[in-house]
Amino acid sequence: MRVGLALSGGTDSAAAARLLLGRGHQVKAFVFSNSAHPDNGNTVEEARTAARRLGLTLTVVDAAKEFQHLIDAYIVPTLMRNETPNPCVVCNRRIKFSWFMQRVLQDEDVELFATGHYAGSRGPRGQAGLFRGADKQKDQSYFLAQVEARAFRRTLFPLSRVSKQEAVALAAGIVARPHTQSQDVCFARNYRMFIREHLAGHLRPGPIVHVDGREIGRHQGLPLYTIGQRRGLGVAFHEPLYVVNKRTHSNCLVVGVGRDLLCRDVVINNLNLLAAVGAEGRGWAKIRYNQQAQAVRYTCMRAQQRALLRFAAPVSAPAPGQLAVVFDAHNRQVLFSGYISGGE
């Protein structure tokens, strides 16, 4: 097959390139760049080095305008709603597996799009969809769960059955830093500084209130905090405190102890269906990337683009704006995903 590969210059995409070439595919490399980011030059140069060592041609596709739109149309509005944005998820849906993928596939020498994600795009019977990677510690299906289903019909994930250790070995001699984590092009170097710069007029200090109603401190502006946050609260207490809620109308930051974060029911919206699901069912779900999937019962309200997830055991700190992903009964295929709903 003629494959267009997203080559970042990191370990994962280099390993994917070596696997594709080893399987006899014709490969052209494309680097997804952001010329407005201060580290962009390093990213492009590392991609050029990797492409040269692999014997591949490289096309640079600049996404600076698309990144700025992501900031203006998604990240900043989400922060202003006092929700926690998930830029990697939205970038994958709106830019990488849409705008960028289309440009790669416009090349007359390209039939399929490939990346170095640890995930699968084909099931055991060859059906297109989104599946978990074999390396459960590196599985990145969570970050791909908002990508439109049609994209996976023309996508290859060469690392679907590869471990990180195997990828490092495959990338040896191709990348300069084979043991480092491959990173997506990011929208900012310092997240808190980004918030202060872009929401300067919306950061209103206010009270930090314990769940029992006592005011115990002052916060610097609700967008600077996220549900479940422990560090950086600036209050002394006899127990570890976490952010439990952000009350927009009263500008209160509510804090409590670990047990105050627990709940069984999570409502999600903006559903992205990636497999056939009924109105009700059972499966596994996670409410953040770095979490083991938990047993769940779900009720889908498709007309409202909403679903209720009822976990078998309490989950901690569902943060409005973050993604919840639901897998099938075997915990292998992504059924659907949605953004955790907020509330006072």
Give the H or E element holding residue 41.
Answer: helix 40-54
Beta-bridge mates of residue 296: 283, 311
The residues, any chain, with a CB within 8 Å of residue 55's CB and separated by 6 or more, are none
To the nearest 10°, report the CA torsion of 268, 315, 203, 78.
Answer: -20
**Whether the Cβ atoms of residue 3 and residue 20 lie closer than 8 Å to each other:** yes
| d(C-alpha 279, C-alpha 264), whole Å | 19
**Residue 196: burial class (beta carbons within 10 Å; 0-12, 13-18, 19+):** middle
Residue with tokens 């929401």: 199
Concerning whether 91 is annotated as a catalytic residue, the answer is: yes
Residue 307 · residue 279 · CB < 8 Å: no
Q: Are 281 and 302 in contact (CB under 8 A)?
A: no
Pairwise CA distance, residues 203 & 186, whole Å: 23
Q: Write down the catalytic residue from 88, 91, 252, 300.
A: 91
Longest Cα separation, the chain: 66
Exactly one of 186, 252, 263, 300 is catalytic; which is it?
186
Q: Which helix (H) or strand (E) holds 164?
A: helix 164-171
Q: Which residues are known catalytic residues? A: 91, 186
